[in-house]
Amino acid sequence: MQNLTKNAAAVALSLPMTLGLSATALANDMTTKYNLRTPASGMAESLYTLHNFLLIVCLLIFVTVFGVMFYSIYAHRKSKGHKPADFHESTAVEIAWTVVPFLIVVVIGVYATPIVMAQKDTTNADITIKATGYQWKWGYDYLKGEGQGIAFFSTLTTPYEQRINAQPKTLNYLSEVDNPVVVPVGKKIRVVTTANDVIHAWMVPAFGVKQDAIPGFVRDVWFKAERVGTYNGHCAELCGKDHAFMPIVVKVVTPEEYTAWVAQQKAKQAVAGVVETPILQLAQAR
């Protein structure tokens, strides 16, 4: 929370001033309003570099194609007495415009494939957490690793009054929940996604993670957060009228803080007597 507040304060002080926007217009972790989120994991870092590389490739193609086109229009214009050239059935040209794009695609493929493969490698995780999408909240079950057995729902806490402008919107507008997911820094976290009703998607841009949560199916994704802090995301699959109101908040803490949090959660469960897992509640509801 402290970090988020710090980030939010930094954002509030920097960008809005230069852009002439009010602080509330830049809610959440939008430190880079016109760019991807600042990466907080190695994967997000790779995706960010890949993204920039592809943009440069696009830019080079754009400049080359339009450069040749505008140069031709200008330098070989009719008023200077030029006659249109005839390229019909030119084998050389046809080979060139097949081979060049093919090579570009190969280069992109060689670069991107290992990253995509690494995204799918959810083996050897330190902690496995199941994220279940509900209309309209998330349920979390810590399935394996330190914290196993912890389960809770994570629900939006932004007051309704803010949504209807009866109250000023705060910096965490629509990105604040009662129970954030807590994970230790530098550990591989496997997130198993599924849903209870319709398709949702678990997305945290700063970790480079986005995975559909499909009822009746299990999908998984992983991340290893490299910086302590609070990161947010949102359901990324249109899932009904309150789709915008089921944010994801992940608190990355030090291993010691994580151990303390686990102990605190276990104590809470012991007091409650019953483990109120989303799975149990579902079973009881049926």
Let me know: does 229 contact 40? Beta carbons within 8 Å.
yes
| The token pair that represents 186 in the structure block | 């530098």
Q: Is 4 in the site for Cu ion (CB under 5 A)?
A: no
Least distance (Å) between residue 137 CB and Cu ion: 9
Min separation Cβ 243 and Cu ion, Å: 5
Least spacing, CB of residue 239 vs Cu ion, in Å: 3
Through-space distance between the first and last CA atoms of the chain, rounded to whole angstroms: 37
> For Cu ion, which stretch binds (CB under 5 A), given 150-158, 182-190, 192-200, 204-212?
192-200
Kindly state the smallest distance separating residue 246's Cβ from Cu ion, in Å: 5
In whole angstroms, give the CA distance from residue 180 to residue 132: 14
CA 283 to chain centre: 31
Distance (Å, rounded) from C-alpha 225 to C-alpha 151? Answer: 21
Cβ closest to Cu ion, residue 4 vs residue 195? 195
Question: Is residue 131 close enough to count as binding Cu ion by CB under 5 A?
Answer: no
Strand order of the β-sheet with 229-234 is 181-184, 247-253, 229-234
Nearer residue to Cu ion within complex by CB, 121 or 242: 242
Residues 157 and 200: their CA atoms lie apart, in Å, by 19
Q: Does 200 bind Cu ion (CB under 5 A)?
A: yes
For the CB of residue 154, give the shortest distance to Cu ion in the complex, in Å. Answer: 12
- Compare residues 29 and 212 and give the one whose CB is closer to Cu ion: 212
46 closest CA partner among 118, 129, 122: 118
**Residue 8 interacting with Cu ion (CB under 5 A):** no
Q: Is 253 helix (H, G, I), strand (E, B) or coil?
A: strand
Q: According to the binding rule CB under 5 A, does residue 137 interact with Cu ion?
A: no
- Applying CB under 5 A, does 239 fall inside the site for Cu ion? yes
Is 235 a binder of Cu ion (CB under 5 A)?
yes
Binding site for Cu ion (CB under 5 A): 200, 235, 239
